[in-house]
């Protein structure tokens, strides 16, 4: 899908040649004397159209309008969420027809977040997965033109939005692929394909991981015939003196639960258990497009969790890369086992911050549903920056507690720590487990189990939280000092 930004008022939009014209109309939009303004004024006066978010009025072959298809889309007060609703509804209304070039005209000056919302909504509505469907028709909308009152003022937000689309659709692609088309080896190949220009890639196999002493990661992988991969991506967009942000993505390409096997119902959706890894790939695809002045490292521990005769058993004790021993009470709590070794590996980069992204717990789905990702951090500054980035990107998260008392359930007589602590507060105790391995740097954990994919008739990966992460990194690009920042205040924890 191609994108273009233009300075256009309603008169200019009416004259623009395209297959479909979508006019996003907030309340109080100023109208002129052109055909489009006249039509809009009459529709408002007659009550045939209301500028409420998501309200549509469609017409065909309208006099004075160059586009054969016209959709007026209400956008309420013009907030980003309302612009998103308007564009989603309108794009869904036109995408089924013979429409390749779409113009979305924002009928009033808007903020940067509304411009981003417009681009992301149009891309989301028109996205089609086809990789393992050779006879399926692909995306019909091939070009999106966004018309705003001042293209120069909106160019930065537009560029970020286009980069975010590239990244989100990369994450969707890998999340949606069946597990036999998205093995750890395939993820390593996908990472290597990104290694151009400022992006470098290294893919480690079982022998290298063994030499690193990643006993927790290897324990999860040992029950599968698919070889594990540990992927290291680097984006160097700033001077070497600037400490990098490290993104750690959970890459369980299929999760049976291991010996603690999952129920058969909806187990196919466990192909989405690598959406944290997919989001890291997506962010690096977006970085290649946006080229911000930041340094970023991506770490992806990737393997399958299978119930083979060699699989790890409940009660086994393994030694992590940090030297801490772990009693594995539940083999279906495997994500934290592969992440903990990656978090230890991250120390070598002397990072400004480390953010891990994982479809980690069903408990987070119960707590927050599919609206917000769970965000855990003992660092107030990092937590605030991620919360703000999610709000701006409409890729929402919610800060969850990390009180020391939640770690009590992880105590065991047979190792330094157990990998589970019972059902109560399961998302928090999982985060407390990871916190033990992230004491050397500012750290945050994003539990995306409820937001990484949708079930039912809309089944498929969402590409979240690529938008949140890219917005966070873009903000760091503006604010980053030349040297490693002083660590901000951290809450006391166990």
Q: Give residue 109's pLDDT.
A: 87
Beta-carbon contacts of 154 under 8 Å, excluding residues fewer than 6 positions away, are 5, 110, 112, 115, 146, 148
Query: Class of the 177-479 domain?
Result: alpha beta
Strand partners for 25:
74
Number of Cβ within a 10 Å radius of residue 54: 17
248 in Cβ contact with 357 (< 8 Å): yes
Which pLDDT score, from 0 to 100, does residue 484 have? 46
Active site residues: 262, 336
Strands (E), 150-286: 199-204, 229-236, 245-249, 251-255
- What is residue 108's predicted lDDT score, i.e. its pLDDT? 86
pLDDT of residue 479: 65
412-418, Cβ contacts within 8 angstroms, sequence gap of 24 or more = 412/327, 412/329, 414/315, 414/317, 414/327, 415/317, 415/325, 415/326, 415/327, 416/324, 416/325, 416/326, 417/324, 417/325, 417/326, 417/327, 418/326, 418/327, 418/329
Nearest to residue 231, comparing CAs of 210, 202, 209?
Answer: 202
| Alpha-carbon span 295 to 409, nearest angstrom | 37
Q: Where in the chain is the domain with CATH 3.40.630.10?
A: 177-479
Residue 39's closest CA among 17, 9, 70?
70
Burial class (CB within 10 angstroms; exposed 0-12, middle 13-18, buried 19+) of 15: middle
CA–CA distance from 423 to each of 67, 365, 429, 430 (Å)?
57, 13, 9, 10
Closest CA relative to residue 406, chosen from 433, 380, 379: 433
pLDDT at 480 (0 to 100)? 55
- The fold for domain 2-149 equals 3.40.220
Measuring CA to CA, which residue among 364, 423, 426, 422 is closest to residue 397? 364
Query: Residue-wise pLDDT tens for the chain (494 aa)?
Result: 999 999 999 999 999 999 999 999 999 888 888 999 999 999 999 999 999 988 999 999 999 999 999 999 999 999 999 999 999 999 999 998 899 999 999 988 889 999 999 999 999 999 999 999 988 889 999 999 999 999 999 999 999 999 999 999 999 999 999 999 999 999 999 999 999 999 999 999 999 999 999 999 999 999 999 999 999 999 999 999 999 999 999 999 999 999 999 999 999 999 999 999 999 999 999 999 999 999 999 999 999 999 999 999 999 999 999 999 999 999 999 999 999 999 999 999 999 999 999 999 999 999 999 999 999 999 999 999 999 999 999 999 999 999 999 999 999 999 999 999 989 999 999 999 999 999 999 999 999 999 999 999 999 999 999 999 999 999 998 665 544 444 444 443 43
Helix pair angle (380-393, 112-126), 10° resolution: 60
Measured at the CA of 267, the angle between CA 261 and CA 272, to 5 degrees, comes to 110
Tokens of 162: 């286009």
CATH 3.40.220.10 residue window(s) in the chain: 2-149
Q: Are 415 and 319 in contact (CB under 8 A)?
A: no
């Amino acid at each position: 899908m191609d994108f273009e930004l233009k300075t256009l008022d309603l008169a200019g939009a009416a004259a623009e040649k395209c297959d479909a014209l979508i006019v996003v109309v907030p309340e109080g939009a100023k109208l002129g004397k052109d055909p489009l303004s006249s039509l809009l004024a009459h529709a408002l006066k007659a009550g045939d159209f209301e500028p409420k978010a998501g309200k549509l009025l469609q017409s065909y072959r309208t006099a004075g309008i160059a586009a054969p298809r016209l959709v007026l889309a209400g956008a309420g007060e013009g907030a980003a969420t309302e612009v998103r609703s308007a564009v989603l509804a309108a794009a869904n209304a036109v995408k089924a027809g013979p429409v390749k070039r779409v113009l979305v005209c924002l009928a009033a000056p808007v903020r940067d977040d509304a411009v981003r919302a417009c681009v992301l909504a149009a891309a989301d509505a028109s996205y089609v997965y086809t990789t393992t469907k050779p006879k399926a028709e692909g995306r019909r909308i091939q070009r999106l033109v966004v018309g705003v009152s001042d293209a120069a003022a909106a160019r930065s937000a537009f560029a970020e939005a286009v980069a975010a689309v590239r990244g989100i659709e990369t994450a969707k692609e890998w999340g949606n692929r069946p597990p036999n088309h998205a093995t750890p080896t395939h993820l390593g190949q996908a990472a290597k394909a990104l290694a151009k220009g400022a992006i470098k890639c290294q893919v480690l196999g079982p022998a290298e991981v063994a030499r690193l002493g990643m006993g927790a990661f290897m324990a999860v992988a040992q029950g599968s015939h698919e070889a594990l991969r540990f992927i290291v991506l680097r984006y160097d967009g700033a001077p070497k003196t600037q400490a990098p942000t490290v993104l750690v993505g959970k890459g369980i390409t299929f999760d049976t639960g291991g010996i603690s096997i999952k129920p058969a119902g909806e187990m196919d959706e466990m192909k989405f258990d690598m959406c944290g890894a997919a989001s890291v790939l997506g962010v690096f695809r977006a970085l290649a497009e946006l080229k911000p002045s930041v340094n970023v490292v991506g770490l992806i521990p990737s393997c399958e969790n299978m119930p083979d005769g060699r699989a790890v058993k409940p009660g086994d004790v393994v030694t992590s890369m940090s030297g801490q021993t772990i009693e594995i009470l539940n083999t279906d709590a495997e994500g934290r086992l592969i992440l903990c070794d990656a978090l230890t590996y991250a120390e070598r980069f002397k990072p400004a911050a480390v953010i891990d992204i994982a479809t980690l717990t069903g408990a987070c789905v119960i707590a927050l549903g599919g609206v917000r990702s769970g965000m855990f951090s003992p660092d107030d500054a990092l937590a605030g920056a991620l919360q703000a980035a999610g709000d701006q990107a409409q890729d929402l998260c919610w800060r969850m507690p990390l009180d020391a008392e939640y770690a009590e359930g992880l105590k065991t007589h047979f190792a330094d720590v157990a990998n589970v602590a019972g059902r109560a507060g399961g998302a928090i105790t999982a985060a407390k487990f990871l916190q033990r391995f992230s004491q050397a740097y500012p750290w945050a954990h994003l539990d995306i189990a409820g937001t990484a994919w949708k079930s039912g008739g809309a089944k498929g990966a969402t590409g979240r939280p690529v938008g949140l992460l890219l917005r966070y990194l873009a903000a760091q690009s503006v604010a980053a000092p030349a040297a490693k920042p002083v660590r901000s205040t951290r809450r006391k924890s166990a």
